Amino acid sequence: MMKLVSVKEMRKIDRMAIKELGISGVVLMENAGQSVVSAMEDFFGLENVHKVTIVCGKGNNGGDGFVVSRYLINQKISVDVYIMGTVSSIVGDAKKNLDIIVGLGLKPKIIKNKNDLRKLRLSLSNSEIVVDSFFGTGFSGRIRGIGEDVVREINESGIHIVSVDTPSGIDSDTGNVSGEAVKADLTVTMGLPKVGQFLYPARHYVGELYVADIGFPEQVINDVEVKGTLVDNEVLRRFIPWRAPNLHKGAFGRILIIAGSTGMTGAAAMAATSALRAGAGLVYLAIPEHLNPILEAKCTEAITIPVPQTEDGSISLKAYTKIMDEIKKVDVVAIGPGMSQHPETQKLVRKVVENANAPLLVDADGINALVGYTKVLKKRKKPTVITPHPGEMARLIESNARDIERNKVEVSRRYASRWEVILVLKGAPTVSSEQDGSFWLNPHVNSGLATAGSGDVLTGLIIGFLGQKTTPLAAAVSGVYIHSLAGEILKEKMGEHSIIAGDLIDAIPSAIIKALKD
């Protein structure tokens, strides 16, 4: 399990290591530079590299670059060092390492005009690798002036690009890229991965991400409150419920899914089947009565509960009493898949959300019914999970999908706290947040998951795990991860173009096995 840090959290770790434990910043810089060279050896091999160009800034990121140059020189590799800014602006540990390479006979060149750019271009044309070491994780905004030209020269060089800590030009918190940014083949980040490196559009620029251990003590990392976690198989092994071999089906959860309407039979069926694939013992499916014959044939393992319907074939408000009676018999409830946005159905959804005395997952049309009514979420006495995509989230908070995408982690955290829910903000990547501001970022992204019914499969997975007596957070994180891992398995077999929701359901068993065994 790996922590995922904000820029502020990483600075605090760095500061505690230096100020409280007395670890020299020079030592950390030395370790960082050495780690970059080791990563270059691992990823590219340096035996056939004759020349490397390094572009350094004036801060500690540039200091790392100066250390890189020294280790490359020791390997008899020719190095050109270019500095963005003036030598007089370089201070502290970076200045110490600059002085060392100057003492070794290296003469860094300053980039300040078009003529210097031409020299840089010539150096790049004679190099096999360029190291981007000028803007670090503290950067936000837009690279301006000659810096933009430098980034273009690096990106257009056609050689391997290595970024130190993070590609210059990306926001390491939000993943936003406001202008030119270095498009790395390899990013060597120090200590812990940064949140923004997993978010788009920055993720396009990171390339392979190598997390370097540069000597931050585990004690310091544990003492700093880090809100983010990168989900992996280790997390899943902690979160997925253990199954004793001698238990009966009732012990693995009684689940009620309220779903379906005319034309949306598949949503109900896929949610129910996915819940069963997640290990749910019993799945009950409350559906409009006219869909009962279809779903009895389509989803034979689920127990169907036909309820009154509207004239348009969605669940009627008249079904409320029957649904509430059924909720008393089960452990957990999901509401929303394929229910339609019929006004009467939306009234039903709101009444159920407010009054259901059971852990509840709200998805799809269930979420749409809460637009303008999110206050009912705080009124609930039992845990709630909601699973909006950016468009649904935008409607809930009267924003737009673009702004949601630009601030995905912050939005997920803020509204999980405000509404007192587990908020699963779907997308590439999906972020699951708790009420206390902690969040869990799913690493897998796959365009094959952008297909009709994919969200219904996710709903089934989450509610299936939740019914097995795990926590709402564990169920949400596990469901998202298994859903994406199923997508990864399918991508290897059939590519991303041809995946459909039914394929995801079929791949759930393999995904669970892989997560638990690898």
User: Are residues 483 and 449 in contact, defined by beta-carbon separation less than 8 angstroms?
Assistant: yes
- The residues near 514 (Cβ < 8 Å, ≥ 6 apart) are 233, 485, 489
Same CATH fold assignment for domains 2-226 and 233-517: no
Write down the pLDDT at residue 415. 98
Which sequence spans correspond to the domains of the chain?
A: 2-226, 233-517
Domain topology for 2-226:
Rossmann fold (3.40.50)
pLDDT of residue 118: 96
Three-state SS across 484-505?
HHHHHHHHHHHCCCCCCHHHHH
As a whole number, the mean pLDDT across the chain is 96
CATH topology of domain 233-517: UDP-N-acetylmuramoyl-L-alanine:D-glutamate ligase (3.40.1190)
Tell me the per-residue pLDDT of 75-115, one tens digit each, with 9 for 90 and over. Answer: 999 999 999 988 889 999 999 999 999 999 999 999 999 99
Distances (CA, A) of 219 to 3, 13, 223: 14, 10, 6
**What pLDDT was estimated at residue 244?**
77
> How many angstroms separate the CA atoms of 475 and 463, rounded?
7
Cα 324 to Cα 327: distance, rounded to the nearest angstrom: 5
94 within 8 A of 63, measured Cβ to Cβ: yes
Give start and end residues of each alpha helix (H) in 356-389.
365-368, 375-379
User: Which residues of the chain fall below pLDDT 50?
Assistant: none
Using CA atoms, how far apart are residues 467 and 459, in angstroms rounded to an integer? 12
Tokens of 42: 């691992």
Amino acid code (one letter) for 515 = A
- At 419 the pLDDT is 98
What pLDDT is attached to residue 246? 77
Query: What pLDDT is attached to residue 156?
Result: 98
Structure tokens at 219: 């004690």
Question: Which one, of 61, 84, 98, lies nearest residue 149 by Cα?
Answer: 84
Structure tokens at 179: 């202008």
Q: What is the pLDDT of residue 517?
A: 87
User: Whole-model pTM above 0.85?
Assistant: yes
Query: What whole-number distance in Å separates Cα of residue 485 and Cα of residue 121?
Result: 43
Tens digit of each residue's pLDDT (9 = 90 or more) over 212-261 = 999 999 999 999 999 999 999 999 999 988 887 877 888 789 999 999 99
